[in-house]
Structure 1
């Protein structure tokens, strides 16, 4: 049987290219969105939240996506040092920054020759809601190695305690790496960071995030729009690779499980480790994920960030294309914005 696709008329179309970075999916939107209004990247994020959120649900939710889908929308640049901007989306809304998304989009730009690598700046500049990201491409043996310098990362709170039923008093720290995370030592509370234990990690991660957010509100030193706790990161010294420093399981947004070690998460963690004098400057460490993929991160320099002691994290990881898609919406579709099942 041969289907004549030219007979398909009256559908709304959104074209994407799908990738993964260290196992974490990314759906990059190529066409189908209207113009994104706003003079700043934060204004653009507010615009898509208010006017185009139905398209986020269309692409992130089932039956076209799933509860752990993640997306990226490329925008025009908003600052003089940026080559383009990115808005990140997930099952709950829009992120302030996303490391795995940066790595994937830059990898795609290199593979498709969409951007000039040998520019006078010496880096690829990317506007994100958290700030300007500087990405670098090291081409070696026909393989492109991508890394990026994140926004300043810093520690918000350390050695705080919150009571969790069934666990008692649980110690935690809060650090920022483009987003705020609650860090919990999983080994101390006897919680396994294995794939088989993902449901307990989801439930506990959601609970900790919500409780801490209520009792310990965060205030970003520059932008109120960035002042929210994005997720909980459980870390463990039980790794599958002896070269790994630790394992991360990040539960973010509405119970999403990051398959990668989390680019913003490892950024916040290296700031925390440097603060604790556990990792020196310019010393790379490998952090693995729940599926044993890994990212490398190091704190490259200290700085005063609007009165806060911070470091610049440099993160690297691997990204791969998984497919090219054209998603269609029939006007009679009973699920025009999809649904979520966990």
Structure 2
């Protein structure tokens, strides 16, 4: 008899980026907080991430979010984010997808109009406002991890590309912020292969000298993201927009502008005095998908000046599925997976 397990998934997308929400089928994880559970999963159960982000079950360009019991009494649910790069502490697009899935599936009761909910990410609480109409979530505005500039004016010599200057910003993960025009990029869809190759070469070169510790989260791993910044345009109505692209190591250019990439850009601009509380920036991905970022106000993270911001976007539910995991399938690595799955 085959040893089979089942996972219940809700597949969603925000700005074209697919997030697979795991709702049932995983045993309770060790740890009290979402952060403790994420670290347990990373150390003892990475097989779940690899399973759902690899063929034949998935693709590295997707994300996976595991719904868990929250550790904070204010939160209605917790979630652990898994991507090709590992386990980010926070993600705007994943939060938008998780909140939408929880509300539209009924796991959190939906209220018509504006509804406030709180979710617990590994980075801490995400305060969310959902705009609901006729049983559907029209948009999500999320305020999560404050962003700060860790270092400005860095540079590294990248083989085949020359010197690359960048700033290092935390917004739920560390981002290397690179001016796209310095390297001839317009951040259009036809540049995806070139952006991926550049990002891969840059991260492989820059990583050894960039190990950073977050003031409260500690060691958060090696550099995972590059955010390419386009030129800022001020529209006739005073709104500010910019093309952008986020590279996830290894090998992924996001279809959305990404929430954490947008938050990092807001912190960089606010720190330079280009934006202030209440000001907005609309970021546009190479595929033309948009997120709206708003500066909320100043704070501190450790000794760093930091900025609270919100990200507004929308998500769509694409599928509700029951995935069968055959533990006898030679394509399934059960070494750090089997003990996670409910019998």
Between the aligned partners of 2:71 and 2:165, the Cα distance in structure 1 is 40
Secondary structure of 2:13's match?
Answer: strand
- TM superposition shift of 1:113: 3.2
1:246 to 231, 242, 247: 242
Distance 1:270 1:212 in 2: 23
- The match for 1:5 is none
| 1:220 corresponding residue in structure 2 | 214
Summarize the Cα distance change of 1:152–1:334 in structure 2 as closer, same or farther, 3 Å threshold: same
Partner of 2:313: 317
In the superposition, relative to structure 1, how do residues 115 and 39 fare at CA in structure 2: closer, same or farther (>3 Å)?
same
Provide the C-alpha distance between the structure 1 equivalents of 2:80 and 2:158, rounded to a whole number of angstroms: 34
> In structure 2, how many angstroms separate the alpha carbons of the residues matched to 1:272 and 1:11?
49
The answer to whether the aligner puts 1:167 opposite 2:166 as a matched pair is: no
Q: d(CA) in 2 for partners of 1:197 and 1:289?
A: 12
Query: In structure 1, how many angstroms separate the alpha carbons of the residues matched to 2:107 and 2:252?
Result: 31
Judge conservation of contact 1:90–1:253 (CA < 8 Å) in 2. Answer: no
Tell me, yes or no, if the aligned pair for 1:220 and 1:226 is still in contact at 8 Å.
yes
1:266 aligns with 2:256: no
Equivalence for 1:284: 280
Q: Secondary structure at the match of 2:139?
A: strand
1:155 aligns to what? Answer: 149
Deviation at 1:110, TM superposition (A): 2.3
| Residue in 2 that maps onto 1:39 | 32
Residue number among 83, 89, 105 corresponding to 1:96 in the alignment: 89
Q: What secondary structure sits across from 2:312 in the alignment? A: strand
Correspondence for 2:172? 178
The C-alpha deviation readout for 1:291-318, integer Å capped at 9, x for no partner, is 1101000110111222211110110101
- SS of 1:217 mapped into structure 2: coil
Give the secondary structure class of the aligned counterpart of 2:330.
coil
Distance 1:331 1:64 in 2: 13
Q: Choose from 276, 290, 298 the match for 1:294.
A: 290
Give how far 1:225 is off: 3.2
Counterpart among 80, 85, 91 of residue 87 in structure 1: 80
- Is 1:123 the counterpart of 2:119 in the alignment? no
CA RMSD of aligned residues (A): 2.4
Matched residue of 1:63: which SS? coil
**Long gaps (5+) in structure 1:** 1-7
Give the secondary-structure state (helix, strand or coil) at the position aligned to 2:40.
helix
Aligned length, in residue pairs: 327
Q: Which residue of 2 aligns with 1:71?
A: 64
Q: What is the DSSP-based 3-state SS (H/G/I as helix, E as strand, rest coil) of the residue aligned with 1:270?
A: helix
Change over 3 Å in CA distance of 1:331–1:221 after alignment to 2: closer
Asked if the contact 2:88–2:172 (Cα under 8 Å) also holds between the matched residues in 1, the reply is no
TM-score (norm 2): 0.88
Flag the 1:301–1:331 CA change in 2: closer, same or farther, 3 A: closer
User: 1:117 touches 1:123 (CA, 8 Å); kept in 2?
Assistant: no
Do the aligned residues in 2 keep the contact of 1:288 with 1:295 (CA within 8 Å)?
Answer: yes
Cα distance in 2 for partners of 1:227, 1:331 equals 30
